[in-house]
């Protein structure tokens, strides 16, 4: 499959909610208690076919589609947490991965807060995770973004 077809398929997958969050638990080694989770994007087609992130994330990273995937995943995480909170189920903070490409988004913090606030999620339940390469590529923008958040 060529990259353009794959990009179109990814857009359709988001529209059809085929991209889902898998939650990797993070435990405190001293207490063996669940303290947080990391949301990892997975693509499951309607026929059950599993598309690994290695098959689609690099192509999305080469375009601005990765930005849409990141925001989509934030929405998925907020929806998940809102459901847990509303149903009085146990919940922990969840980290959401954001591409280095967000470093140039002038309204990143505002959009982040708007999404979280739309779900009425306490801000401390969302942890923003930026790739280490972002720091190496543009340390000033990374520091500015962290300070802004």
Which of left, alpha, beta for 88 (phi over 0: left; psi -120 to 50: alpha)? left
Q: How confident is the model at residue 138 (pLDDT cuts 50, 70, 90)?
A: low
pLDDT digits (tens, 9 = 90+) for 13-41: 999 999 999 999 999 999 999 999 999 99
The pLDDT confidence band at residue 147, using thresholds 50, 70 and 90, is low
Q: Look at 67 and 100; give whichever has higher pLDDT.
A: 67
Residue 143 pLDDT more than 80? no
Sign of the alpha-carbon dihedral angle for 55, 59, 65, 67: positive
**128: domain CATH number?**
3.20.20.450
Q: What is the pLDDT of residue 19?
A: 98
- With CA atoms as reference, report the closest residue to 75 among 37, 125, 42, 112: 112
Task: Supply the pLDDT for residue 102.
Answer: 79
Closest CA to 134 of 92, 105, 94: 105
| Domain hosting residue 126, numbered range | 3-148
Q: Pick the residue with more confidence: 149 or 2?
A: 2
pLDDT digits 0-9 by tens, 114-123: 999 999 999 9
With cut-offs at 50, 70 and 90, classify the pLDDT of residue 82: very high
Across the strands, what pairs with 96? 39, 128
pTM, full prediction: 0.88
Supply the pLDDT for residue 55. Answer: 94
**Domain count of the fold of the chain:** 1
């Amino acid at each position: 499959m060529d990259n353009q077809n794959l990009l179109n398929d990814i857009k359709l997958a988001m529209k059809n909610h085929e991209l889902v969050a898998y939650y990797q638990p993070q435990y405190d080694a001293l207490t063996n208690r669940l303290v947080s989770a990391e949301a990892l994007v997975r693509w499951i087609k309607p026929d059950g076919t599993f598309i690994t992130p290695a098959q689609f994330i690099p192509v999305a990273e080469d375009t601005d589609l990765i930005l849409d995937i990141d925001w989509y995943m934030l929405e998925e995480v907020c929806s998940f947490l809102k459901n847990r909170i509303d149903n009085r189920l146990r919940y922990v903070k969840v980290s959401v991965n954001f591409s280095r490409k967000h470093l140039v988004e002038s309204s990143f913090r505002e959009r982040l807060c708007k999404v979280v606030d739309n779900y009425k999620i306490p801000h401390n339940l969302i942890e923003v995770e930026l790739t280490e390469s972002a720091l190496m590529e543009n340390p000033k923008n990374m520091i500015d973004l962290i300070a802004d958040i």
